[in-house]
Structure 1
């Protein structure tokens, strides 16, 4: 994947003398003043739009041949297997943060569709889980989940947090607003619109998140606070995030486990989610389109160059 190298400025002053020419001493009236040489200044950078598109390219992981999915109905958090009151604290914080950002979130007693499970041996739990419930990770429906290679990475990962998204292409009737799956489901007849049929045009199809599974290895959380963890979980619960995305050059909560000083969601994170959820869901949200929207949101977040005030 493309990696933004950022804005690099190199400025070198040659010699050990001062940067500015000095007046010659009075007893040497004919001597030319010393001259300092300024080496070539090299500035290379990319526009905000280019940076935003590269960020999206790094973090977004839609299902193959599909657009970026999001929640059309409220996300409902089921948090289990944490000690003491930690599970309730995590669920409360997730709902509060989602409400703050205007993201769809259900009540605390709703039926879960985002499952956050604590474990003391993440790899072992992931292996057992994938072996016992293969249909949870790889439904027999096109366009809903990652590839088998993605599942193998999920199982073998040593990350503190790992996740798996299930989404579904949805046909939206442009006159009535009624919805139905845009792919063939087991036990059902063919859909009116099939996104994978070459003979049909699916111009009003959106991609809906329907389930997210998150496994948290509690032994690897170390000094991470509940607030930091919840912001990290919020990002991966509401967007299809690539666990292998290189975000080192960006200010994002996704760097939390490489940089525990990240306090929480950043402008990049909030703008990414806002751009994703304010877009027309039936206009396929590819990397380029999401990058443009992200750049627009970031510009809106920037303070004025010369703020007026006391």
Structure 2
């Protein structure tokens, strides 16, 4: 469905991060500031609040099934390294990646005019945005965005059992991608729920003219972060983060070059902690895991 909307536009395309000492009692140095572990935990909590989208059904969504990434608008020899890097990041943080030929549940479209493409999609196929909140749709509709992404998700039983209604977007009708070339290698308690909120599909629109000065690997990491977690498109976390890549306040020389320690630690925590915890408990545990993860690699 998305492909039928964006292909006409595509035809117009020409042929110092966080450092933690190992001891529990040692102070933590964050971008030149010494702080206690309690202060570092609060910093990690603030980071998750800044980057993660508002919980739905009181959970933070993530992937439960393997990712299968497709790309349109790029030559195969250009798209393949981008897909490989995103897949490598997914494996590193604990997400699963489909092997061999697969049906895409992630589609990255490289466009000359993403504003017009999204406006057309919103007008012609609003059902593709059924699981997108109203405030998120307002953000997506803003002109001038270098990258847009939106998600299809479902509430389902743990491990993907007892799937509810089909997700919107790619998750709802993957066959609608038609025959596009896909490049791919390959019990309830107070804090637990018998269900999980799972991402089933992600659609990404990249505006080629607006990302022309961004290094390829940096763009790949930015897209990976947005694909692997239900991320606020307008996230502005404090400190180093790949999500500041397109921040108006950041000069070109201050742009991140890849995932920061905080970014990578958050993704690992997201895929490590049981997903069926309530959102508040989940984010608190994520902050603790982030600090432990960063301490372990320093």
TM-score by length of 2: 0.71
1:265 aligns with 2:251: no
**Residue in 1 that maps onto 2:220:** 230
How do residues 87-102 of structure 1 correspond to structure 2 at under 5 angstroms?
A: 87-102=79-94
User: 2:275–2:282: 8 Å Cα contact kept in structure 1?
Assistant: no
Partner residue of 2:62 out of 62, 65, 70:
70
Q: Does 2:152 match 1:166?
A: yes
| Structure 1 or 2: more helix by fraction | 2
The 3 A distance-change label for structure 1 pair 288 and 56 is farther
Please report how far the alpha carbon of residue 225 of structure 1 lies from its aligned counterpart in structure 2 after TM superposition.
1.4
Alignment match, 1:212: 202
* Larger of the two Rg values belongs to structure: 1
Match of 2:277 among 253, 268, 283: 283
* Equivalent position to 1:123, from 92, 110, 115: 115
Structure 2's unaligned 5+ residue stretches are 1-29, 168-191
Judge conservation of contact 1:170–1:206 (CA < 8 Å) in 2.
yes
Counterpart among 246, 255, 260 of residue 244 in structure 2: 255
Normalised to the residue count of structure 1, the TM-score between the two structures is 0.69
> Does structure 2 retain, via aligned residues, the 8 Å contact 1:54–1:291?
no
| Count of residues in Structure 1 that have an aligned counterpart in Structure 2 | 240
| Counterpart Cα distance in 1 of 2:268 and 2:149 | 21
CA contact (8 A) 1:53 1:287 kept: no
Q: 1:295 to 1:252 in 2, by over 3 A?
A: farther
5 Å-filtered alignment, 1:236-247, equals 236-247=226-237
RMSD: 3.0
Higher normalized contact order (CA 8 Å, seq sep 6+, divided by chain length): 2
Rate the CA distance shift 1:66–1:158 in 2: closer, same or farther, 3 A.
Answer: farther
Q: Does the CA contact (< 8 Å) of 1:79 and 1:87 recur in 2?
A: yes
Structure 1 match to 2:138: 152
| Aligned 8 A contact 1:53 1:288 in 2 | no
Structure 1 residue runs of 5 or longer lacking an equivalent are 1-5, 10-42, 139-144, 186-201, 306-310
